[in-house]
Amino acid sequence: MKKVEKIIIAGGGTAGWMAAAALGKVLGKAIEITLVESEEIGTVGVGEATIPSMVFFHKLLEINEREFMRETRATFKLGIQFENWRKPNHRYLHAFGVTGKDCWAAGFQHFWRRGCELGVAGDFGDYCLERRAAEANLFSHLPNSGLNYAFHLDAGLYAKYLHKFSERFGVKRVEGKIQSVSTVESNGFIEAITLESGLRLEADFFIDCTGFRALLIEQALHTGYEDWSHWLPCDSAIAVQTESTSAPVPYTRSIAHESGWQWKIPLQHRVGNGLVYCSKYLDDDSAKKLLLDNIDGQPLMQPRVIRFKTGRRLQQWNKNCLAVGLSSGFLEPLESTSIHLIQQNIIRFLRMFPAGGVMQSDIDEFNRQAEFDIAHIRDFIILHYHATERDDTEFWNSCRTMEVPESLRHRIQLFKDTGRVFRDGNELFDDSWQQVMIGQGLMPAHYHPIADSMGKEELQHFLAQINNNIDYTLATLSSHEDYLAHYCS
């Protein structure tokens, strides 16, 4: 039961510097924080799309949004447009907002479902402000957080920005590659890391941000890994940055291909592109050609291949080591949740900080919460692959017909039978479930009888009023390009 007074963060990148920034801001006056990284080791650096929880994280750290966006060449993000996922040439936009207006007894989707039956309802997404704003390339900050948003950002510039931020709170950086990790014989706790230079660094607690290598949590502590590739079969990605050829749109594009999908992330100064694919159905050379044939603008770098295995570390916190980022596991970037999971582990650790010493009860509770978070996000990502009408390739046939986790099977069946969705505890996604299920072609067979309490004209007026309110708000918004120029260029 040794007090935690010295922390070493092993590895930089987005995960390392987010951890350093939060720990420094909250505990910098009370504990010694050192981050170890090597300029010779590159980072994956493709997690450039985020979700609205990052706005909350920045508010906790009192980060100036204009400054952050200017330094990272960021743009605003209102959602993700999915193209070819349900079937070729079909698209829908999963937006960050709430769709329609709920009743206490039943969600808006029940009234919309009856409206479809009566022929008075438009597309489900027509009743979501964020979706309509995204499709019209509009953005402005609204009072009382009236428009839910996130960011597209340059991951390399973000790490540099947080580096400078962290130094203001006493975080020290040490340059060097980790050569070995020393553990205590009696209890297996990590006591020190030794760099190639011979420098030995001791601490009371270690945060592993060494990426897929997981030097501490796995190579030193042998924590174990749960493989989810039978549900999420893509195991490779190719990333390339390109010049901008048009004004940035306020949404990410996710474009399904024959054996995976492509991302397009618009920043102020360039576009991030990538292809996520399954090597069982597509070789690397063909994947590179497919990506390069489907980008706009000149490439700014050589395409690079990234290998991964979807899954999670069996313990995010093991002994006196916490895994953050890719060392803790990997869910592909389809719904931009990687940075969210980083900040969740950081915030959770700060709330459960072991000031008096590492205790197993803390470890167990931390890991229970972390497993809950990642398992629900896993199910949501699997949904995109499984709930599809595509049968044009072996890859999509395999995804459409595969067995899915029982938790996801229940959600899908409940929605198909009754139109009901539920939020399990404090899980991340809520309205998103019905947006994606409807977008992927799932239509409820029935709706809640409360929707019958409205006559046809009353229901038509109810739906039209929601649309009119959105139209009124859209008229007050600026173009995304103009707002960026005014706000943070």
Q: Which two tokens stand for residue 443?
A: 């239509």
Query: What pLDDT was estimated at residue 40?
Result: 79
Q: What angle do CA 441, 52, 122 make, to 5 degrees?
A: 35
Residue 161's nearest CA partner among 6, 23, 21 is 21
Q: What is the pLDDT of residue 285?
A: 96
How far is CA 348 from each of CA 10, 19, 248, 356, rounded to the nearest angstrom? 19, 11, 34, 17
Structure confidence at residue 105 (pLDDT): 86
The predicted pLDDT at position 423 comes to: 83
Looking at residue 178, what is its pLDDT? 96
Per-residue pLDDT of 188-233, as tens digits, reads 999 999 999 999 999 999 999 999 999 999 999 999 999 999 999 9
Beta-carbon count within 10 A of 34 CB: 16
- CATH 3.50.50.60, the chain: domain bounds: 6-48+154-229+310-358
Do 4 and 349 meet the contact criterion of CB atoms below 8 Å apart? no
Assigned fold of 6-48+154-229+310-358 = FAD/NAD(P)-binding domain (3.50.50)
Which parts of the chain register pLDDT below 70? 1, 42-47
- What values do phi and psi take at 271, rounded to 5? -125, 135
Say if residues 171 and 23 touch (Cβ distance below 8 Å). yes
Cβ contact 46:14 at 8 Å? no
Residue 6 confidence (pLDDT): 97
Active site residues per annotation = 77
Residue with tokens 């005014």: 486
Report the interhelical angle of 338-351 vs 53-61 (nearest 10°). Answer: 40
CA–CA separation, 99 and 80 (whole Å)? 15
Q: Is the dihedral of CA 444, 446, 452, 455 positive or negative?
A: positive
> What's residue 57's pLDDT?
96
In whole angstroms, give the CA distance from residue 231 to residue 377.
13
pLDDT at residue number 345? 97
* Residue 413: other Cβ atoms inside 10 A: 10
DSSP H/E element including 474: helix 456-474
| Best CA proximity match to 76, nearest among 486, 484, 489, 485 | 484
- Which amino acid, one-letter code, is at 310? T
HSE of 135, CA atoms in CB hemisphere, 13 A: 17
Bridge partners of residue 37, in order along the sequence = 175
**Burial of 418: CB neighbours in 10 Å, binned 0-12, 13-18, 19+:** middle
Location of structure tokens 């008229």: 475
Rounded to whole angstroms, the Cα distance separating 411 from 295 reads 36
Pairing state between β 317-318 and 236-242: unpaired
Look-up of token digits 């399954």: 278
pLDDT value of residue 42: 67
